[in-house]
Structure 1
Amino acid sequence: MVSSVSLFSSSQVLTLLGAGNTSSANAAVAPSTSQKLLAAATGNTDDVLKAGNAIGKIIEIVAGMNQSDQVFDMVGAERVYNDEGGFTETKTGQGTFGGDAAAQASALDYFREQANGTGPEADRAKAYLDAYDKGTIRKYDMSSMGVTSTATITKSYYADGTQSGEGGSFQTVGMAEFLKQYTTVGDDGLLRDKATGKYAGIEQNGTKFTYSVY
């Protein structure tokens, strides 16, 4: 199955976590200093990413990436001019949208805050922190599990070359099938790994998806 997913925010990377029955989500965050992907934040997921109500909450956590990962750039983008002399550049391809310098710190900050509360999400946060301390978080490249994605990014410029905006979308294949095969939703409404029963999350960095189990 192919899905068209709008970019969720101007942050460089997103993490999707199972969080019960949420029909849509909005992420409004300040643009990343290293990678301003969008001029305006949007946050509407399609039915594929909401399959089985398994994924609902979107939080800004940079997904872990290796230095060898390909970074999405605009080299070779198609340029189209308008009547005022301005132009757009559009490129379709694959790659990550940022590095991992602040990745773990951002994730830990989020889960530490959640762990101070009570209820299912606090329990999940504590499980994550415990797994992190023990080094038992397992991460899997979802491209080897049937999920692939392509991004189309468009940047707009005034006639003088000043950038006026940017945006884009993802075409993601195999997400619904992945969720059905590998995940389930626990009684607490949170995403679980079907094989182990442990908490699970799906991290997105550009067109790279990573499955985390902890």
Structure 2
Amino acid sequence: MISLGSPPSRAPRVLIVDNTAATRSIRDALQTTSMMLRCADTHAAALQALRRFKHDAVIADLPTATALRDAAVSHARPVPPFLIAPEILQHETGAFPSSHSRHRLVKQPLDVRRMVGDIHALMLGLDRADTEPQPVDGRLSLIPDCGLVFSGTTLVPLLRAERAVLIMMAASPGRVFTWEDLKTATGCTQAALYGKVDRLRQTLILFSSGHDYIATIRGRGIALEVDEMFSP
């Protein structure tokens, strides 16, 4: 069976301390996602938000993240996971444990998909997750470690077996996968797979402006047909 991450069952709750150009850029980029975003424009407002609400991740620059962490420690409160904005990373990362599983650095250039992957990895405690999007074509991309599928920058909602089928086929576009291949990858019965593959097909059509990624080869199985109009 294919090993892949599973997205959380609810939308991540994210606090953005948007007091720098870098964090404001991240805030604007994440507005298009389904995340529950709360913004604070000062250190004091961020402290108040952390006291009142539980957050799955906090996005801030390094000085703000360090101050918020120290405040949490001094008041014996849990330290939230931080996604550190890039403005002042070059010579100050030693002041914050960026390699720790509960903290990540925003990579440049900014990529909404990668940031969504980083936030999901923080939320799920996936300390070694690779959150670099893997393109299928110029529109569809995957982050297998987090179980995420994107059409453009939009997160595509898929069930676990559907993600497993897509990720397996995306590794070899055009290859015909038999139903036995699919049963091994998902652990599902063939009868159940018919329904799951059909739902995967319809979901991808919906999120790709009508392109049918799943080709059925009668008597053999299915194959992934990338959209040549959106070649990477």
TM-score tier, shorter chain, comes to under 0.3
Which is higher, the Rg of structure 1 or of structure 2? 2
Which protein, 1 or 2, shows the higher relative CO under an 8 Å CA cutoff with sep ≥ 6? 1
TM-score of the pair, normalised by structure 2:
0.22
TM-score of the pair, normalised by structure 1:
0.24
Give 1 or 2: higher strand fraction.
Answer: 1
